């Protein structure tokens, strides 16, 4: 049955399939201490689900195995032909979007594939719970137990075949499969991921303070971004890839064969101020089927304003001044901050003749 399962997952386009025993996750105590320290920030669902998240039997009574699945989303180096010269120019600065959000929403794609695996396991008498990073499960613990990879110092899972560029999914099942062996930690003394973090969010090896993380600040945080972090966000407008990009194991990464993850036009073809013209309906249309849609216009334009505050110029001021009066207070606040930052830069570069 395991061989049939492996063949099915390959046919469905998964790049890895490994089995972990269904047991209390190894980092249960560390996770609870992390929550207690407040490092989850506003991600309250982690606190609400902590009992289930640390005991898979509460998620699926009688679960015996965890099927860990990985799907590569690496698109390879960006060809110069894909980058429009105008948005990348100094007068039309562009923002950076985390690679996982370049294409269609992976949740929708992978959930359909998990339904087929569920149907296969039902035929063999199993009961399942299937998740794509949305369920109450410490997925990276089970992924490491299965040998899909090991815990990097950034807390990201590292695969010797895929590097760091892959999605995880899990199927808890009452069927018992022969578990695969875990891999040893192969990070050694390397600290490149820690050194690369722009906000020093990796406060110790294997420990991230989410409240400092650019991905948290630009995606999970619903309100105002603390001013101390805004300059450190740079030109990032959705997520952050710095700790992933820095990992030397990515030299083994291969381009994904899944066309749904290919970069959409807005990734390389839009300038930052282009995004400021979007109303709610245009935002929903542009980001239809994209994971970016989840932060809504208010969150995305907040991020765009911060990026313009960091790298924008005089040409961006009219667009920012328009959204500084946006009915959405969150957008207006960050636009006003960006305008002030640009004026400060202009004053520093072009001081008045009097020297004041």
List 55, 133, 180, 235, catalytic entry: 133
Q: How far apart are CA 19 and CA 68, in angstroms?
A: 6
In the residue annotation, 280 being an active-site residue is answered as no
Q: How far apart are CA 81 and CA 51, in angstroms?
A: 50
Catalytically active residues are 133
């Amino acid at each position: 049955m395991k061989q049939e399962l492996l063949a099915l997952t390959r046919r469905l386009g998964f790049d890895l399939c490994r089995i972990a025993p269904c047991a209390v996750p190894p980092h249960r105590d560390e996770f609870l201490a992390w929550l207690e320290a407040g490092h989850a920030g506003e991600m309250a669902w982690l606190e609400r689900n902590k009992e289930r998240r640390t005991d898979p039997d509460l998620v699926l009574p009688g679960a015996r195995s965890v099927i860990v699945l990985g799907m590569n989303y690496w698109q390879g180096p960006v060809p110069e032909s894909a980058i429009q010269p105008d948005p990348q120019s100094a007068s039309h600065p562009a923002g950076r979007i985390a690679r996982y959000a370049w294409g269609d929403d992976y949740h929708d794609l992978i959930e359909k594939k998990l339904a087929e695996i569920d149907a296969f396991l039902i035929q063999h008498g199993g009961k399942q719970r299937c998740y794509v990073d949305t369920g109450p499960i410490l997925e990276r613990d089970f992924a490491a137990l299965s040998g899909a990879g090991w815990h990097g110092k950034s807390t990201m899972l590292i695969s010797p075949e895929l590097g760091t560029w892959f999605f995880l999914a899990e199927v808890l099942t009452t069927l018992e499969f022969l578990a695969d062996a875990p891999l040893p930690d192969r990070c050694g003394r390397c600290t490149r991921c820690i050194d690369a973090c722009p906000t020093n969010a990796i406060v110790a090896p294997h420990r991230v303070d989410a409240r400092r993380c650019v991905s948290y600040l630009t995606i999970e945080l619903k309100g105002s971004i603390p001013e101390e972090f805004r300059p450190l966000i740079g030109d990032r407008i959705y997520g952050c890839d710095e700790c992933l990009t820095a990992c030397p194991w990515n030299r083994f990464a291969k381009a994904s064969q899944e066309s749904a993850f290919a970069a959409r036009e807005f990734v390389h073809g839009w300038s930052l101020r282009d995004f400021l013209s979007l109303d709610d309906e245009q935002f929903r249309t542009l980001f239809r089927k994209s994971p970016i849609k989840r932060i809504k216009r208010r969150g995305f334009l907040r991020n765009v304003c911060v990026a313009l505050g960091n790298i924008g110029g005089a040409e961006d001021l009219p667009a920012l001044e328009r959204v500084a009066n946006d009915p959405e207070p969150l957008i207006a606040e960050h636009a006003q901050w960006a305008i002030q930052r640009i004026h400060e830069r202009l004053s520093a570069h072009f001081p008045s003749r009097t020297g004041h």
